[in-house]
C-alpha cells in the first residue's frame, strides 16, 4: 500500500512540474537564431536627440523697407561671405543698392494728390449742409411722435384726467407747454454740449453735464390709476367707454339668467306632472348653468379691466408719452453729436495737406533705404538669420536682379561671439525639455568635436510652418546656446544635439526592443536552458536605445530582442513604435529602430 502511495505521489510531482514548465517555458523551441542580449546595471542617461542648424543668437539684419506691390529689384549686392571691416564702416561702404525708379515715379505722381485734397475739402463743407437738413427732418419726426403719444394718453383716460395727471407730474400737457419744454431742454443741451466749441478745438476735454430733465425712474410708475375709478376722476375717454360696454354686457347677462331661471322652474313643475321628459328638464338646467357662467364671465371681465387692464394700459400710455419726451431730447443730442463728427471730418480735410507732406517724406525715406551701407563689421550672409524651409520658398533667392518683397531679409551680419542651434522638439518629448538643461552639440562638418550648451528658449506653441504640409506633425522650436566661442563654427552648419533629460545612477536596463506589451502588461522573454520564459517587468525611464527595469530582471539576465516564433500573443505591440514617432521630426533612424521594425506590432512601454 505504501509503495503505491509513493508511486502516486511521484507521478503527481512530475505532472505538476510538467504543467509549470508548459506555462512558463517553451521547452524544445528553436531559439538559436534569435538575437539575445544581457541586462546591464550601471549609469543610464535619458536624453533626446534632435538635429538643427547653427545660427548666431545676435545679429544685424537688413530688410527691404520699400512698400511696393510689385516688389523692388536688386541692382547691386556685395558677395556673400565678405568680411566687413572697420574701415568699410568708416567709409560707409555700399553693401546693397536697390532700384528706386518706381519710387521716383510715385513721388512725381504724388503731386497730383493736392487736387484731390482740395476736392475732399469742398465735399466736407457740402456734407455739413446735407447733415444739417437730415438732422432737422429726424427731429421733426420725433416731435410728431411726441404729439401722437400725448393724444393717445388723452384719448384713453380723457382730456381732463390727462391734463390733471400731467400737471401733477410736472410734464407738458398741451402743444404750448410742449414747445416751452423743448426750448428749455435745447438750451440745456447746447450749454452742456457746445458743438461749435467742439468743432473749433478737438483738444478740449471739459466734462459735459448730463441733461437735467432726464430722470432715471419712470414717473408713470408713481401714478395710482386705480384711484381714477374710485374717485370718478376718469374722463369721457376710451377707458370709460370700455367700462360702460362691460357693464351693459353684465346687465344683459343678468337679465338672461333671470329668464332662464324662470324657465327652469316651469320645467320642473311640468316634469313633476310628467308633461316633459327628464332629458328636457336637464337641458333647461344646463341652459341655466350657461347663463350663470355668462354673467360671471361678464362681471369678471369688468373687474379685471377695472383692477388690472385699465391701470396697466394707462401707465403704459403715460410711459410712452414720457419716453417720447426723452426720445426727442436724445434725438437732439445724437444729431448734435453727428454734426460734431461732420465738423471733425471738415477739420481733417483741412489738415490733409499735412498728411500728404508726411507721405512725401515717407517716399523719400524709402528712396534713401534703397542704398544699404556698412554699419557693423562682420561676415556677410544672404537672407535672414531665422530663415527656414518655408520662408525660403515664400521669398525669391537673394541675387542681383532678384525682386524683393516688403519686409524680406536681404543680408545679415551675425555676431560670431555667441552662437546657438535652432532645433524642433517633437511633441512627444516636449514635456521632458526644460530651460537650462545640459546639451551636447556635434557639428556634422566636425564630428570629432563635442561642444557643451544649454537650453536657452523653448516655444510655448508648436511651429505653424512645420505643420503646414503635414498637419499631424507638431514640433516646438527651441534654442540651444553654445558655450564659449569656436572659430570652426559657421552659421548654417548642420548639427546634432543631445539634450540631457536625466542621468540615472546604478540602475538595471535593457534595449527598448526587448520589452513588449500585452494587455497593458510589460514583459520580456528570458532565455532559459530549455527555450524561453515570459517574464513580467516593471519599467521606468527610457531613451532611444535603452529602458530602465525596476523589477523582474537583474544584471546578467539574457533577454531576446525578438519575439520567439512559438509565442502567439492575443495583442502584442513593439516597444520601439513610439520611438519611431519621436524621430519623425528629425528624419533619423537608429540601429535599434531598424531592428524594431522587423518585429510585428510592438509599442514603447509606459513609464512606471
Domains of the chain: 26-44+504-596 (2.40.420.20), 68-99+370-414 (2.40.50.100), 117-361 (no CATH)
Instruction: Quote the cell numbers at residue 220.
Output: 408713470
Q: Give per-residue pLDDT as tens, 481-492.
A: 999 888 888 888
Element (H, E) at 76: strand 72-77
pLDDT band at 77 (very low <50, low <70, confident <90, very high): very high
When pLDDT is averaged across residues 551-556 and rounded to a whole number, the result is 90
Nearest to 549 by CA among 48, 44, 37: 44
Higher pLDDT, 570 or 400: 400
Sign of CA dihedral 369, 372, 378, 384: positive
Backbone phi, psi, residue 492, to 5°: 95, -15
Q: Kindly tell me if the per-residue pLDDT of 16 is higher than 80.
A: no
Which pLDDT belongs to residue 183? 80
| Longest CA span, the chain | 141
Which pLDDT belongs to residue 204? 46
pLDDT band at 523 (very low <50, low <70, confident <90, very high): very high
Higher pLDDT, 453 or 180: 453
When pLDDT is averaged across residues 373-380 and rounded to a whole number, the result is 87
When pLDDT is averaged across residues 259-264 and rounded to a whole number, the result is 84
Q: Kindly tell me if the per-residue pLDDT of 470 is higher than 90.
A: no
When pLDDT is averaged across residues 310-329 and rounded to a whole number, the result is 82
Which pLDDT belongs to residue 392? 59
Interior CA angle at 331 toward 329 and 336, to 5°?
100
Instruction: Quote the cell numbers at residue 313.
Output: 394700459
Q: Kindly tell me if the per-residue pLDDT of 274 is higher than 60.
A: yes
Higher pLDDT, 573 or 549: 549
User: For 438-478, what is the HEC assignment?
Assistant: EEEEEECCCCCCEEEEEEEEECCCCCCCCCCCCCCCCEEEE
Q: Give per-residue pLDDT as tens, 396-447.
A: 788 888 899 888 899 888 888 889 999 999 888 888 899 999 999 999 988 8
Residue % of the chain over a pLDDT of 90: 16
When pLDDT is averaged across residues 588-606 and rounded to a whole number, the result is 37
Strands 532-536 and 40-56, bridge-based pairing: unpaired
Which pLDDT belongs to residue 22? 44
Q: Give per-residue pLDDT as tens, 335-358.
A: 888 888 888 888 888 888 778 888
C-alpha span between 204 and 207 (Å, rounded): 9
pLDDT band at 582 (very low <50, low <70, confident <90, very high): very low
Burial of 128 (0-12, 13-18, 19+ CB in 10 A): middle
b/e code 218-234 from CB counts within 10 Å (16+ = b): ebbeebebeebbeeeeb
When pLDDT is averaged across residues 24-52 and rounded to a whole number, the result is 79
C-alpha span between 185 and 523 (Å, rounded): 90
Cβ pair 532, 29 in contact under 8 A: yes
pLDDT band at 146 (very low <50, low <70, confident <90, very high): confident
Cβ pair 517, 47 in contact under 8 A: no
Which pLDDT belongs to residue 221? 64
When pLDDT is averaged across residues 537-553 and rounded to a whole number, the result is 90
Which pLDDT belongs to residue 5? 41
Higher pLDDT, 91 or 10: 91
C-alpha span between 382 and 375 (Å, rounded): 16
Which pLDDT belongs to residue 538? 92
pTM, to two decimals: 0.47
Burial of 345 (0-12, 13-18, 19+ CB in 10 A): middle
Q: Kindly tell me if the per-residue pLDDT of 496 is higher than 90.
A: yes
Q: How many CB atoms lie within 10 A of CB 53?
A: 15
Which pLDDT belongs to residue 509? 93
Which pLDDT belongs to residue 480? 94
Q: Kindly tell me if the per-residue pLDDT of 226 is higher than 70.
A: no
When pLDDT is averaged across residues 36-51 and rounded to a whole number, the result is 90
When pLDDT is averaged across residues 488-516 and rounded to a whole number, the result is 90
Higher pLDDT, 193 or 344: 344
Q: How many CB atoms lie within 10 A of CB 372?
A: 20
Burial of 129 (0-12, 13-18, 19+ CB in 10 A): exposed
Element (H, E) at 304: helix 278-304
Q: Which range is least confidently modeled, 388-402, 486-500, 570-584?
A: 570-584
Q: Kindly tell me if the per-residue pLDDT of 583 is higher than 50.
A: no
Helices and strands (DSSP H and E) totals, the chain: 14, 23
The SS3 of residue 108 is helix
Average pLDDT of the chain?
78
Question: From its phi and psi, is residue 289 left (phi > 0), alpha (psi between -120 and 50) or beta?
Answer: alpha
- Collect all residues with Cβ–Cβ distance below 8 Å to 97 and sequence separation of at least 6: 74, 75, 76, 77, 370, 371, 372
pLDDT band at 522 (very low <50, low <70, confident <90, very high): very high
Task: Give how far Cα 208 sits from Cα of 334, 336, 347, 501, Å.
Answer: 14, 13, 22, 64
Amino acid at each position: 500500500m505504501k509503495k503505491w502511495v509513493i508511486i502516486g505521489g511521484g507521478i503527481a510531482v512530475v505532472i505538476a512540474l510538467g504543467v509549470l514548465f508548459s506555462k512558463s517555458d517553451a521547452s524544445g523551441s528553436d531559439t538559436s537564431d534569435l538575437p539575445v542580449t544581457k541586462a546591464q546595471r550601471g549609469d543610464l542617461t535619458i536624453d533626446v536627440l534632435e538635429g538643427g542648424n547653427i545660427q548666431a543668437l545676435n545679429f544685424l539684419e537688413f530688410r527691404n523697407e520699400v512698400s511696393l506691390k510689385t516688389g523692388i529689384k536688386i541692382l547691386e549686392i556685395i558677395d556673400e561671405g565678405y568680411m566687413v571691416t572697420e574701415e568699410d564702416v568708416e567709409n560707409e561702404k555700399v553693401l546693397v543698392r536697390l532700384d528706386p525708379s518706381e519710387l521716383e515715379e510715385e513721388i512725381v505722381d504724388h503731386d497730383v494728390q493736392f487736387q484731390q485734397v482740395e476736392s475732399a475739402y469742398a465735399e466736407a463743407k457740402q456734407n455739413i449742409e446735407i447733415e444739417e437738413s437730415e438732422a432737422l427732418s429726424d427731429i421733426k419726426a420725433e416731435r410728431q411722435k411726441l404729439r401722437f403719444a400725448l393724444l393717445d394718453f388723452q384719448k384713453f383716460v380723457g382730456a381732463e384726467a390727462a391734463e390733471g395727471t400731467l400737471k401733477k407730474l410736472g410734464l407738458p400737457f398741451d402743444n404750448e407747454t410742449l414747445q416751452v419744454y423743448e426750448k428749455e431742454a435745447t438750451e440745456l443741451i447746447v450749454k452742456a454740449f457746445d458743438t461749435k466749441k467742439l468743432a473749433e478745438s478737438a483738444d478740449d476735454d471739459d466734462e459735459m453735464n448730463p441733461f437735467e430733465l432726464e430722470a432715471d425712474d419712470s414717473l408713470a410708475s408713481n401714478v395710482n390709476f386705480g384711484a381714477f375709478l374710485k374717485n370718478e376722476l376718469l374722463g369721457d375717454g376710451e377707458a370709460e367707454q370700455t367700462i360702460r360696454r362691460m357693464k351693459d354686457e353684465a346687465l344683459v347677462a343678468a337679465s338672461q339668467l333671470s329668464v332662464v331661471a324662470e324657465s327652469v322652474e316651469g320645467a320642473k313643475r311640468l316634469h313633476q306632472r310628467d308633461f316633459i321628459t327628464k332629458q328636457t328638464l336637464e337641458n333647461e338646467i344646463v341652459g341655466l348653468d350657461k347663463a350663470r357662467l355668462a354673467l360671471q364671465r361678464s362681471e369678471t371681465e369688468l373687474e379685471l379691466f377695472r383692477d388690472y387692464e385699465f391701470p396697466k394700459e394707462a401707465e403704459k400710455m403715460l410711459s410712452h408719452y414720457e419716453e417720447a419726451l426723452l426720445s426727442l431730447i436724445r434725438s437732439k443730442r445724437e444729431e448734435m453729436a453727428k454734426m460734431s463728427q461732420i465738423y471733425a471730418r471738415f477739420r481733417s480735410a483741412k489738415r490733409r495737406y499735412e498728411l500728404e507732406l508726411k507721405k512725401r517724406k515717407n517716399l523719400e525715406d524709402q528712396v534713401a533705404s534703397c542704398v544699404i551701407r556698412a554699419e557693423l563689421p562682420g561676415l556677410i550672409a544672404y537672407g535672414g538669420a531665422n530663415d527656414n524651409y518655408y520662408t525660403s520658398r515664400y521669398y525669391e533667392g537673394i541675387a542681383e536682379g532678384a525682386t524683393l518683397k516688403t519686409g524680406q531679409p536681404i543680408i545679415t551680419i551675425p555676431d560670431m561671439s555667441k552662437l546657438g542651434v535652432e532645433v524642433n522638439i517633437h511633441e512627444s518629448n516636449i514635456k521632458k525639455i526644460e530651460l537650462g538643461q545640459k546639451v551636447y552639440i556635434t557639428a556634422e562638418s566636425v564630428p570629432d568635436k563635442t561642444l557643451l550648451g544649454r537650453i536657452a528658449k523653448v516655444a510655448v506653441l508648436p511651429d505653424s510652418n512645420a505643420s503646414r504640409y503635414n498637419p499631424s506633425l507638431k514640433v516646438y522650436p527651441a534654442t540651444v546656446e553654445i558655450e564659449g566661442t569656436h572659430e570652426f563654427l559657421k552659421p548654417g552648419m548642420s548639427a546634432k544635439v543631445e539634450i540631457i533629460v536625466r542621468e540615472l545612477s546604478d540602475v538595471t536596463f535593457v534595449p527598448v526592443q526587448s520589452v513588449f506589451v500585452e494587455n497593458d502588461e510589460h514583459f520580456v522573454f528570458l532565455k532559459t536552458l530549455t527555450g524561453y520564459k515570459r517574464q513580467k517587468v516593471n519599467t521606468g525611464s527610457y531613451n532611444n536605445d535603452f529602458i530602465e527595469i525596476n523589477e523582474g530582471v537583474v544584471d546578467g539576465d539574457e533577454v531576446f530582442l525578438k519575439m520567439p516564433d512559438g509565442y502567439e500573443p492575443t495583442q502584442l505591440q513593439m516597444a520601439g513604435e513610439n520611438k519611431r514617432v519621436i524621430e519623425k521630426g528629425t528624419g533619423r533612424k537608429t540601429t535599434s529602430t531598424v531592428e524594431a521594425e522587423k518585429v510585428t506590432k510592438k509599442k514603447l512601454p509606459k513609464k512606471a
